[in-house]
Amino acid sequence: DGGITQSPKYLFRKEGQNVTLSCEQNLNHDAMYWYRQDPGQGLRLIYYSQIVNDFQKGDIAEGYSVSREKKESFPLTVTSAQKNPTAFYLCASSIETVPYGYTFGSGTRLTVV
Amino acid sequence: AQKVTQAQTEISVVEKEDVTLDCVYETRDTTYYLFWYKQPPSGELVFLIRRNSFDEQNEISGRYSWNFQKSTSSFNFTITASQVVDSAVYFCALSEAQRSQGNLIFGKGTKLSVKP
C-alpha cells in the first residue's frame, strides 16, 4: 500500500544535540512538507520541497534543516539552534503544488530531556 | 494576509447530537481551495474534503456535510448524529493558488469530544 512513513514515532533528545526525523513516501508525489504541531497552535510549516534537490523555508524554519536528494525522502534535522524543539512533527506529500489534498504521515513526537 | 480561524477550541457533545464546527478564512486570491482534516488520537491527519472557490455547492457525505459561503468567508462542517468515533481534532485549511504557492495554511483546530 502506498503512503508516508515517519520514523521514529517517539524520539528523545538531549539539549544541544542534533536529531534527524525520517520521512519516506512511495506515492510518487513531487511535493513534500514538514509541519510542526504544538498544543493549541495548529500546524505550522517548517520547510517544503516541490522538486528533488530544491526546498524552501516555511514560516518557522529557524533551527531546522532539510535535504531532498531523492523524490521519496525528505528528512528533517532539528539542530541545537532550535530553542524549543519539543513538539509533534508531521510530514506530508502532495501530487503537485496545486493541492488535491495532502497525504500525511503518522508523525514523530520529539521530546527534549 | 491569508488566515484561517477556528473560533471553537473544544466542543463536547453527547452521542447522537448534531454538531457544527466553524471555519472562517481570509484571502485576497480569487482562486483558492478549502480543506477539512480529521486528526484522531493516533496523530495522523486524515483528509475529509477539498472545495475550490468557484464551487459553492454544499456537500454531503454520509453523516458529514459542509456549508461553503463566500459571502461570509466561511466553510463550516456539520456532523449529524455524532458518534464516539468522531472524537478527534478537526482542522480547516486554506490554500491560495498564487500567493502561498499552494501551501496549506491551517487553523488551530477544534477538539471534538463525543460522549457515549
Can you tell me the mean pLDDT for A57-72? 96
Task: Quote the CA–CA distance of A41 and A18 in Å, as a whole number.
Answer: 24
> Can you give the pLDDT at residue B55?
85
Say yes or no for a CB contact (<8 Å) between A106 and B50.
no
How far CA B85 is from CA of B40, B42, B78, B115, in Å, comes to 9, 12, 15, 10
Report whether B78 contacts B62 (CB < 8 A). no
Residue B102 at interface with chain A, using a CB cutoff of 8 Å: yes
- Strand, helix or coil at B89? strand
Can you tell me the mean pLDDT for A79-95? 92
Task: Quote the CA–CA distance of A42 and A61 in Å, as a whole number.
Answer: 16
Say yes or no for a CB contact (<8 Å) between A48 and B97.
no
Out of A43, A99, A103, name the one closest to residue B33 (CB).
Answer: A99
Q: Does residue B52 have a pLDDT over 70?
A: yes
In chain A, which residues have their Cβ closer than 8 Å to the Cβ of B50?
99-101
For residue B43, report the phi and psi dihedrals to the nearest 5 degrees.
105, -25
The burial class, CB within 10 Å (0-12 / 13-18 / 19+), for B30 is exposed
Say yes or no for a CB contact (<8 Å) between A90 and B43.
yes
What whole-number percentage of chain A has pLDDT above 90? Answer: 73
Task: Quote the CA–CA distance of A105 and A83 in Å, as a whole number.
Answer: 25
